[in-house]
Structures are given as structure tokens and as C-alpha cells.
Structure 1
Amino acid sequence: MTRTLHITIGTRPDRNGLEDTLGAIDEDEDVDPKPSRLSIESLATFGRIFRPTNLELLEAIVEHNPSSIRELARLVERHPPEVTENVHELADYGLIELEDNGRAKRPTVWYDEFEFSGDVPIRGLDTDSDAPVAP
């Protein structure tokens, strides 16, 4: 079974099913801890999260299953502090998980693919940029 993370851009978070999930938690029922949806508020945020260096990290995690962030840094031939910063950003957005592996943190990916959707209007884009906007 393919596990897909559905990503929308420029939309408010989808709260459908939140009430049911909270009720299930209150009743001590099993709840899937992995979200199937991620809402990204702006194109600038999308660009930052899915920049080539982060995509390279995701690919290396899936292909090589590193036991630590340090090992991941070796795989992509980058400095561990930079990779650590990127990995924590990916974890903050729920794109990866960091599992305790002794003293190290092991990055893991729970999905097999992304599916992107959402309407992105040309006018009024929230780019979080200081660049001048043409009239």
C-alpha cells in the first residue's frame, strides 16, 4: 500500500475530522499519529521546505536509512550542523520523524510519495518576499 502525504499550498489547515480524532483520543482509542495532510501557508514557505538540499536529504533518508543525522550528513557530503538544522525544519513540518537511537537521532520518513494540490492565484501571492511587486 502506498502511503501518500497530501500537501496543499496557500490554504488554511484542513480541520476536517479533528473533532472525531479528539473524541477518539478521549476514549483511549487508537489514533493514527501520522498526518496524511500538510497545509503550507505560502509559496515562500513551500520553496524553503522543498528546496533542493532538503529534497536531497529526504531522498537519502529513504534510500539509505541512516542511523543518525551525522551519518545522513556523510551521505550527502555536507556539514553535520547544516544538516541538523535542515532535518529539524523537516521534522517541524512533519515531513520526517526523529527517533531516539541511543544518543543519536535517526531520521525516518513514513510516506512513499507526495501529492500536491491547491489553487495558487497569480495576483496577491503571499511570497513573504521583500522584492518589489509590479503594479
Structure 2
Amino acid sequence: MTQTLNVTIGSPDRSGLEDRLKAVGAGEDVAPHNPTLAIEDLETFGRVFRSTNLELLEAIVEHNPSSIRELARLVDQNPPEVLENVHELADYGLLELEEDGQAKRPVVWYDEIDVNLPLTSTGAQRDAANA
């Protein structure tokens, strides 16, 4: 079964979040929510999803490396550079680092990214851009 991470440009959509949190707090069974990552702007999106980072994510999904050093070997890059990129991806929630002895194992829970890239601005975004 394909697990998809939804990515949008702009502020996170928190509609319904309060109701979902109340339901969880009351012990109700809440249906899974499609996880969505909101990237603040196109410049950040371009940096986070540059080809080097996408190559790392693909290698993690395909090979399930046991460490960052193994990941660096898989993509034929220097471990310090891979470490820096992996930390950036972890900061944005695109992967997790699991402690495995002295090594940190990069883990990606999804195998597909769905990007919602609007080509028009909403009124508030348009007004801010023109200010």
C-alpha cells in the first residue's frame, strides 16, 4: 500500500485540528488524517526538495540504510555533506533519525510525495506581496 505525504506551499491548514484534538482527548477513535507538510514559500521548497535531497529520500526508501554513513555510500557522497542534508530533511519532518547503537538510521515512512503547487495567490498572499 502506498503511503503518501502531501506537501503544500504556504501556511499549514489547521482547519478541524481543534476538533480532532478534542476527540483524541476524549478517547474517541479518530480516522487517520492525510499527513500534510506546509513549506513556507517557493524558495524554501526549492531548497528542501533539490535533487540531492530527493536522491537521499529515494535511496532511503529503496535501500533502508542502517546508518547515515551507509546512505552516503549508496549515493556516492561525502558523509558530512549527507549528514547536513539529512538534518535539513529531518528538521522539515521529511525523515526521522532512529538511534541504532552509535549510528543514526534515517527512516522515511512514506513512499510517495504529492505536491500541491498553486499558481495563483490568495487575496492575503497577493496583498502582502504588493505591500
TM-score (norm 2): 0.80
User: 2: distance between equivalents of 1:13 and 1:98?
Assistant: 23
Confirm or deny: 8 A CA contact 2:65 2:71 kept in the other structure.
yes
User: 2: distance between equivalents of 1:41 and 1:94?
Assistant: 14
The match for 1:131 is none
Displaced runs of 4+ in structure 1, greater than 2 A? Answer: 20-35
TM-score (norm 1): 0.78
User: 1: distance between equivalents of 2:24 and 2:13?
Assistant: 19
Consecutive unaligned residues of structure 1, counting only runs of 5 or more, are 127-135
| SS of residue in 2 equivalent to 1:84 | helix
User: 2: distance between equivalents of 1:37 and 1:25?
Assistant: 19
Tell me, yes or no, if structure 1 residue 52 matches structure 2 residue 58. no
| SS of residue in 1 equivalent to 2:72 | helix
Q: Following TM superposition, by how much is the alpha carbon of 1:111 offset from its aligned partner in structure 2, in angstroms?
A: 0.8
Query: What value does the CA root-mean-square deviation take over the aligned residues?
Result: 2.6
The match for 2:37 is 38
24-33 or 111-120, larger mean C-alpha shift = 24-33
Letter in 1 for 2:85: N
Q: 1:32/1:55 Cα in 2 relative to 1: closer, same or farther (>3 Å)?
A: farther
The match for 2:87 is 88
The match for 1:3 is 3
Q: 1:56/1:31 Cα in 2 relative to 1: closer, same or farther (>3 Å)?
A: farther
Q: 1:29/1:75 Cα in 2 relative to 1: closer, same or farther (>3 Å)?
A: farther
Name the one with the larger helix percent. Answer: 2
Q: Following TM superposition, by how much is the alpha carbon of 1:105 offset from its aligned partner in structure 2, in angstroms?
A: 0.8
State the Cα deviation string for residues 109-128 of structure 1 (Å, max 9, x = none).
11121111131349x7x9xx
